Each structure stands twice: as structure tokens, then as C-alpha cells.
Amino acid sequence: MPKAGDFEEFSGLAVAGTVAVIGTVEFDRSTVVTFRNTGTASLTFSLSRTLELEGNLVDLAGGAAISRLFSELQTGGTNLLVKNNDTAQPGSYHVEVNY
């Protein structure tokens, strides 16, 4: 179980037109997550209880970044998901979770 000050990082490619699991995390309302769209395709991020996008979604254009508390995204959930909204080009991301 992570403790205050711990962090995890996830980077990867998002296949065009698909939803993928970025990683599995421990839920704590005060955890801060930073989403970075490191490519050009539009991406949608989610903290989910399932393998479907749910909760308060984060949409980011290419090159954008934003930080959110887990409590701003969802009331629970351990799956970080990404959806590539572009049907032709791959996307890329970097996500940092600070407990």
C-alpha cells in the first residue's frame, strides 16, 4: 500500500480509436494525478471501477497537461484508463500519481 510521498508513473501509446488500461492504483481521495498528452491525438482519461470510462472524464488535446485529485474524478476506482479519440493516428501519454 502506498504511503504519503510515494508516486507511480505510467507512459505509453494509445492505439487509435481504443480504450486501454494505463495501470492499476490504490484509491485515496487526496491522491493527485497528473495527466499529460505527449502526442497530438485527442485523449480522454478516466479513473474507473470497471474497464469502461466513467466518473468525471479528463479530455486533453495534444501537448496538454492537467492535475486532479482522485476525489475530483471518482468516489472510488483503481483503474486508470485512456481513450484515443482519434480513429487514425496513435496517441501517447504520461501519467504521474502522487500519493
Q: What dotted CATH number matches 7-98?
A: 2.60.120.10
**Residue 28, φ and ψ in degrees, nearest 5:** -145, 130
What does the pLDDT look like over 25-39, one tens digit per residue?
A: 999 999 999 999 999
Q: Decide if pLDDT at 48 tops 80.
A: yes
Q: Are 6 and 99 in contact (CB under 8 A)?
A: yes
Distance CA 15, CA 12 (A): 10
What does the pLDDT look like over 70-93, one tens digit per residue?
A: 999 999 999 999 999 999 999 999
Q: What is the predicted pLDDT for the residue at 2?
A: 75
Residue 6: band (very low, low, confident or very high) from pLDDT cuts 50, 70, 90: very high
